[in-house]
Chain A
Amino acid sequence: KAGVTQTPRYLIKTRGQQVTLSCSPISGHRSVSWYQQTPGQGLQFLFEYFSETQRNKGNFPGRFSGRQFSNSRSEMNVSTLELGDSALYLCASSLSFEGRAYEQYFGPGTRLTVT
């Protein structure tokens, strides 16, 4: 079974621009979560989608948004990029969001650099 894939793997953007990251979950997984990982803050939860609905959202500004399509693929968008948005963005999929089924299978991540 193919793992979680993320595109692109690396991205360089300028302050003020916007960016869209894509994630394809493991086949059969309906829950997709997004995380931001930085050396100072660790792994922080952005949001989670299940069956095209955003179920939960972390403490990030409205510049961070996402969506999920009917085939469970997900995208996240960051508008008006700031230098502090430079990070590794990880997508993870799981069967469900309850108990053991919430085991996250992570993709390789997208390394975003904002200059």
Chain B
Amino acid sequence: GQNIDQPTEMTATEGAIVQINCTYQTSGFNGLFWYQQHAGEAPTFLSYNVLDGLEEKGRFSSFLSRSKGYSYLLLKELQMKDSASYLCAVVQGGKLIFGQGTELSVKP
């Protein structure tokens, strides 16, 4: 089976750094995706990790530890437009299984 946990909500200040954690328990693992979803819009791709370590892409970075079943998304230099839901998704058994998402609010 699969179980993916993320915090439900987070609040951060514009210009700051925020880390969104994701833990998973799966019977198989073939990669982990992070998606961003603004209210009323479709999810859009942010990052993909399949090997342990950090993947950096501009202001966004994603980390994976397969032995710990743990990933995080790091957002630097937060902007108001980063207010959105962030979804962690694990590829398991040919399916993409999503966590409930973390609603991030960026305050001025």
Contacts and interface: CB of A to CB of B under 8 A. Distances in A.
Interface of A: 33, 35, 42-45, 48, 55-56, 58, 90, 97-100, 102-109
Interface in B49-108: 50, 87, 89, 91, 93-101
A100 B45 contact: no
B96 A99 contact: no
A103 B99 contact: no
A86 to B, nearest CB: 16
B26 to A, nearest CB: 13
Interface residues of B, number: 23
Contact of A45 (B31, B43, B97, B100): B97
A45 B48 contact: no
Question: A44, A58, A98, A104 — which one has the most chain B CB atoms within 10 A of its CB?
Answer: A104
Contacts of A97: 94
Given A42-B99, A43-B101, A55 B94 contact: yes
Interface string B10-39: 000000000000000000001101010000
